[in-house]
Amino acid sequence: MMRRAGLIASLLASTACATNPPVVRQQCNNPDAQLAAVLQPYEELRAKGCPIDPGKPGIDCERLRIEIARLAVICPTHTPTLMANAVLAYDEKRPADAQQYLDLILAQPRSFPDAAALRGQIAIEEGNLPFALRLLEQQINLAPDQPGLHETYAAALYLGGQLATARAQLATAQALGAPRWRIAYHLGLIEEASGNRAQAVRDYTEAVSGNANFQPAAARLKALQATAAPQ
């Protein structure tokens, strides 16, 4: 149900600003700056479709991605670097690699809500609901004010058939600031599973109105409208 949104942007915001080309370093010296120096140009190139600039042969998406991965070896306990690699691996359909980075983060003695939410999402996608539920329950106890955790927990509850509890978790996520269009989509899934097609249509319509580019909501809305009983 939940999709990762804005993690790369938040990682950039948490690291020092850097505009210089990436420089190969062999020591973990100022890891925030080292990460920003490669992550920012990588994101800028990705936004442009990863063009090749003949004038900058050392700066392309693949080389920057390799450098980001190398930083995780040099700075193995730097959470933003591990998270950046986890997000990139997940986006590139490498969930096993993403899981390894996330597990390194979650092994540290404090709460990391973004890492826990993505780790829970991967477990959900793998069909490991017991693990997802256990992890997310633990993380919510550590960081009860994080909407992403409640959203992902709602996803696991929904897939486990606990619709009422999932609905309550979505209410908490919304109260904590989760985007209303995404909450509406989640609620649409719950209403559809409950047999409340008319309410599901309303929820999906709200989700599409809030984010016209969110294809899952548009697809569910189209499917329900196509199978609606004739008046």
Domain locations in the chain as residue ranges: 1-109, 179-231
User: What's the whole-model pTM score?
Assistant: 0.80
Per DSSP, 6 falls in state S
Quote the distance between the C-alpha of residue 90 and its chain's center: 9
Per-residue pLDDT tens listing for the chain (231 residues): 554 444 544 444 444 333 344 444 458 889 999 999 999 999 988 888 887 765 665 578 899 999 999 999 999 999 999 999 999 999 999 999 999 999 999 998 889 999 999 999 999 999 999 999 999 999 999 999 999 999 999 999 999 999 999 999 999 999 999 999 999 999 999 999 999 999 999 999 999 999 999 999 999 999 999 987 554
Give the pLDDT confidence score for residue 8 in this predicted structure.
Answer: 47
Return d(Cα 193, Cα 24) in angstroms, integer: 52
Give the pLDDT confidence score for residue 20 in this predicted structure.
Answer: 43
> Each residue of 77-109: b (16+ CB within 10 Å) or e?
ebbbbbbbbbbbbbeeeebebbbebbebbbeee
